[in-house]
Amino acid sequence: MKEQLEAIQVEALEKIAGTDEIKTLQEVRVAYLGKKGSLTGVLKGMGKLSKEERPVIGEIANKVRDAITAALDEKNEKLEQKALEKQLEAEAIDVTLPGKPVNQGGPHLLTSIVEEIEDLFTGMGYEVREGPEVETDYFNFEALNLPKDHPARDMQDTFYITNELLMRTHTSPVQARTMQEYQGGKSFKMICPGKVYRRDNDDATHSHQFTQIEGLYVDKNVRMSDLKGTLDVFAKKMFGEDREIRLRPSFFPFTEPSVEMDISCKVCKGAGCSVCKGTGWIEILGGGMVHPRVLEMAGYDPKEYSGFAFGMGPERIAMLKYGVNDIRAFYTNDKRFLKQYHQA
């Protein structure tokens, strides 16, 4: 039996060495180590051996099995590596070839305008604040000096969820929330960008949904001249250093006095044309000094503190700056329109 085991080992190692395919190697494994394999058949005859011979033959059989197994594993590893190298060679990619072009998007024009305005005002010390689009009647109207029976509410008719919850009509509630947060104990500068909603008929210059950026500065001894200086810097940075501004008296419930700001027409340089309707000026935003009543409701003493506020629409600014003639173009997702302003 010892000679049989040694012969099986020699024969198995020769076949393993001569095998060049993984499938054939598995067949060799089964032929020698399987249930009906050569080595298994010899081991079944160990029951006929004497007690003295069994340990000796058993030790030899284990060495033979270990030698065949080790040779099989080593050969299998080499064949797998060879197969992998062959596959990689067959599937090789020429990385020097030019790749397929990938269409790249860009920021929406309104996003670019909002970010440009944010950068401008943060550079002047303003912080950017956001608030909920679903707002309470109190913060959207009452905290801004618009009680429930105030006729000025008609100009900001909106979408109501309940009698006390609505889609905000402006970002001014963020200003009211900020002032109430500080309870009259802190000076601050802030702007609040975001979407707003009004029940309006959509056309070339109106939309039921649009974006708005409002600013607020509260401190001691804030004057109208501070507001004018701030807006003058804004106009020149956004539309060009040669732009002039003018302030016209207006009315807003939350500011007193209130103004509308116009910029000089960039087309006619103030001479009058169809763009500015012959006036030489184009309306751009509204603002004014914060109403004393609004300061009081937020916990500020109007005898000690004052402030100014302003509000603008990024859509209108984009339309004037880039010559867009229909506000609906910002929201119809026409890629032909959007691609024009990726580098704006």
- In this prediction, residue 191 carries a pLDDT of 96
- In this prediction, residue 17 carries a pLDDT of 84
Measured CA to CA, the distance from residue 311 to residue 227 in angstroms comes to 12
Measured CA to CA, the distance from residue 217 to residue 114 in angstroms comes to 19
Task: Calculate the dihedral angle through the C-alpha atoms of 107, 110, 116, 121, rounding to the nearest 10 degrees.
Answer: -140
Q: What angle do CA 187, 193, 194 make, to 5 degrees?
A: 135
SS3 per-residue string spanning 61-119: HHHHHHHHHHHHHHHHHHHHHHHHHHHHHHCCCCCCCCCCCCCCCCCCHHHHHHHHHHH
Measured CA to CA, the distance from residue 128 to residue 215 in angstroms comes to 9
- In this prediction, residue 256 carries a pLDDT of 94
* No. of helices (H) and no. of strands (E), the chain: 11, 9
Are 322 and 343 in contact by the 8 Å Cβ rule? The answer is no
- In this prediction, residue 251 carries a pLDDT of 92
Does the annotation list 256 as a binding residue? yes
Of 116, 177, 101, 171, the residue nearest 318 (C-alpha): 116
Beta bridge partners of 281: 264
- In this prediction, residue 188 carries a pLDDT of 95
Of 66, 37, 49, 67, the residue nearest 1 (C-alpha): 49
Pairing of strands 209-219, 245-252: unpaired
- In this prediction, residue 146 carries a pLDDT of 87
Of 41, 78, 45, 43, the residue nearest 63 (C-alpha): 43
Among all chains, which residue has been given the structure tokens 């000026």? Answer: 281
pTM (predicted TM-score): 0.68
Each of the 344 residues of the chain gets a pLDDT tens digit; together they read 667 777 777 887 888 888 888 888 888 778 877 777 776 666 666 666 666 776 777 777 778 778 888 888 888 888 888 888 888 888 877 778 787 888 888 889 999 999 999 999 999 999 999 999 999 999 999 999 988 887 777 777 778 999 899 999 999 999 999 999 998 888 999 999 999 998 888 888 888 899 999 999 999 999 999 999 999 999 999 999 989 999 999 999 999 999 999 999 888 877 888 778 888 999 999 999 999 999 999 999 999 999 999 999 999 999 888 888 889 999 988 888 888 887 65
Measured CA to CA, the distance from residue 177 to residue 129 in angstroms comes to 10
- In this prediction, residue 1 carries a pLDDT of 65
Of 311, 312, 284, 317, the residue nearest 109 (C-alpha): 317
Q: What angle do CA 259, 231, 264 make, to 5 degrees?
A: 80
Are 282 and 275 in contact by the 8 Å Cβ rule? The answer is yes
273 Cα distance to chain centroid: 41
Residues with Cβ within 8 Å of residue 254, at least 6 apart in sequence: 144, 145, 146, 172, 290, 291, 294, 309
- In this prediction, residue 49 carries a pLDDT of 65
